[in-house]
C-alpha cells in the first residue's frame, strides 16, 4: 500500500526571512505526491513562518519558536525532527549548511539511509543524485519506509507564492545538547544570495589580486544585479572569501546567466556551475576547459574586456 503520510520540509531561514532555496526544495517535496508541511524552527521566527505559509502547495506550517532553536543548531532541530518523524513519510531539506548538518542526524536516529543532493524525483522512492563531483549520476531506490532527503536546489524551480497555509505553533521540548553558540560573522551584502541568484559573475585566479577582484568582478556583478562567485583557486589565493566558492566543495549553482572571468574550468569548478542556463567565459587561454561548457566565449584580456562589457551593458539597459 502506498504511504499516505505527508512530507515534512525543514525550512532554511534566518528567523526574519525564508532562504529562497526553501521554495525550490518545496518543488522537490511536492513531487513526492503527498501533502507538504513546512517546519520552521528558530527563535522569533514568526516572520519566516509567515513567508513559508505563502508558498503554493504547503498544507500547514509548523512553527517551533524558542531559545532552544536559536541559530538552528543541528542537535535540537534534529531532536525535534525525530519527534515529528513518525507522522511523516518523508523528511526533506535543502542541501544548505543547515540541511546538511541536521538531516543525517535525523536519518541516523530513525535508522534511515539518507539520499543526499537529490537532483530529480523519479518516483516517490526513486531519486537521481550526482556522485564523483557530478561526473556521474546515480539512480537509487530508497528501501526504508521513511525517506530522508536533501535537495540540490539548483536542480528545481521555486514554488510560487499566493498561498495562506495555517501556522500551527509546536510546543515540543527538546533535550539540552552539548553544543552552544558563541558567535557568527555573516558578511552583510546587498547582492543576491549566491545559491538562488538569477545571474552570477565569478572570478578566477587570473584576476591576480584581491584588489583586482574587487575592482573588476564586483562592479560587473553590480551592473548586472548579480551575485559574486569565485573559483577554488581564487579563494585559495585569498582574492575572495570562502563562502563565495562555486564548485564541488563550495556552492552548486544553476543561474540563468553565469559569467566566468579568468576561470580555467577545473572539473571541481564545472561541477558547481555546469547546469547554468547560459554560460559566458572570458579567458586569455583559448584552450581553457571552461570554453567547452560555455555558450559564449571571449578570448582575451579580461582587464580590457570587462570594462567594455560593462559599458555595453549600460548602453543596453539605457
Interface positions, 227-246, toward another protein (CB under 8 A): 232, 236, 241-243
10-39 binders of another protein (CB under 8 A): 19
Supply the minimum distance, in Å, between the C-beta of residue 31 and another protein.
17
Binding residue for another protein, selected from 101, 163, 170, 219, defined by CB under 8 A: 101
- Establish if 184 lies at the interface with another protein (CB under 8 A): yes
Q: What are the grid coordinates assigned to 72, written together? A: 538552528
129-168 binders of another protein (CB under 8 A): 130-144
202-231 binders of another protein (CB under 8 A): 224
CA–CA dist 158, 256 (Å, integer): 13
Q: Are strands 257-261 and 199-203 parallel, antiparallel or unpaired?
A: parallel
Q: Are 24 and 94 in contact (CB under 8 A)?
A: yes
Question: Of the listed pieces 23-31, 33-41, 153-161, 193-201, which binds another protein according to CB under 8 A?
Answer: 193-201
Q: What are the grid coordinates assigned to 317, written together? A: 539597459
Task: Compute CA distances 275 → 12, 95, 119, 294, 301, whole Å.
Answer: 23, 16, 11, 11, 26
56-75 binders of another protein (CB under 8 A): 71, 73-75
Number of residues that bind another protein (CB under 8 A): 92
- Establish if 97 lies at the interface with another protein (CB under 8 A): yes
Supply the minimum distance, in Å, between the C-beta of residue 299 and another protein.
6
254-273 binders of another protein (CB under 8 A): 256-257, 267
CA–CA dist 302, 318 (Å, integer): 24
Q: Is the torsion defined by CA of 289, 151, 59, 49 positive or negative?
A: negative
Q: Are strands 120-123 and 126-131 parallel, antiparallel or unpaired?
A: antiparallel
- Establish if 108 lies at the interface with another protein (CB under 8 A): yes
Residue closer to another protein (CB basis): 53 or 257: 257
Amino acid at each position: 500500500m502506498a504511504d499516505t503520510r505527508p512530507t515534512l520540509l525543514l525550512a532554511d531561514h534566518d528567523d526574519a526571512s525564508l532562504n529562497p532555496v526553501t521554495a525550490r526544495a518545496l518543488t522537490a517535496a511536492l513531487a513526492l505526491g503527498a501533502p507538504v508541511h513546512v517546519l520552521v524552527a528558530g527563535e522569533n521566527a514568526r516572520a519566516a513562518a509567515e513567508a513559508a505559509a505563502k508558498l503554493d502547495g504547503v498544507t500547514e506550517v509548523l512553527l517551533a519558536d524558542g531559545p532552544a532553536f536559536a541559530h538552528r543548531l543541528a542537535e535540537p532541530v534534529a531532536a525535534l525532527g525525530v519527534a515529528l518523524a513518525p507522522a511523516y513519510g518523508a523528511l526533506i531539506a535543502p542541501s544548505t549548511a543547515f540541511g546538511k548538518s541536521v538531516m543525517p542526524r535525523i536519518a541516523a536516529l530513525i535508522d534511515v539511509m539518507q539520499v543526499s543532493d537529490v537532483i530529480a524525483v523519479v518516483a516517490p522512492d526513486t531519486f537521481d543524485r550526482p556522485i564523483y563531483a557530478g561526473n556521474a549520476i546515480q539512480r537509487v531506490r530508497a528501501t526504508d519506509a521513511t525517506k530522508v532527503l536533501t535537495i540540490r536546489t539548483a536542480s528545481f524551480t521555486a514554488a510560487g507564492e499566493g498561498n495562506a497555509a495555517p501556522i500551527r505553533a509546536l510546543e515540543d521540548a527538546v533535550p539540552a545538547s552539548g553544543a552552544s553558540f558563541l558567535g557568527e560573522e555573516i558578511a552583510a551584502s546587498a547582492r543576491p544570495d549566491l545559491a538562488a541568484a538569477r545571474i552570477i559573475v565569478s572570478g578566477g585566479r587570473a584576476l591576480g589580486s584581491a584588489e583586482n577582484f574587487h575592482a573588476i568582478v564586483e562592479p560587473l556583478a553590480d551592473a548586472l544585479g548579480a551575485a559574486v562567485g569565485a573559483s577554488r583557486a581564487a579563494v585559495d589565493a585569498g582574492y575572495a572569501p570562502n563562502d563565495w566558492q562555486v564548485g564541488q566543495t563550495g556552492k552548486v549553482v544553476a543561474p540563468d546567466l553565469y559569467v566566468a572571468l579568468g576561470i580555467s574550468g577545473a572539473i571541481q569548478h564545472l561541477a558547481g556551475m555546469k547546469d547554468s542556463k547560459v554560460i559566458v567565459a572570458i579567458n586569455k587561454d583559448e584552450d581553457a576547459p571552461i570554453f567547452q561548457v560555455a555558450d559564449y566565449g571571449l578570448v582575451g584580456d579580461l582587464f580590457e574586456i570587462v570594462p567594455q562589457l560593462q559599458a555595453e551593458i549600460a548602453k543596453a539597459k539605457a
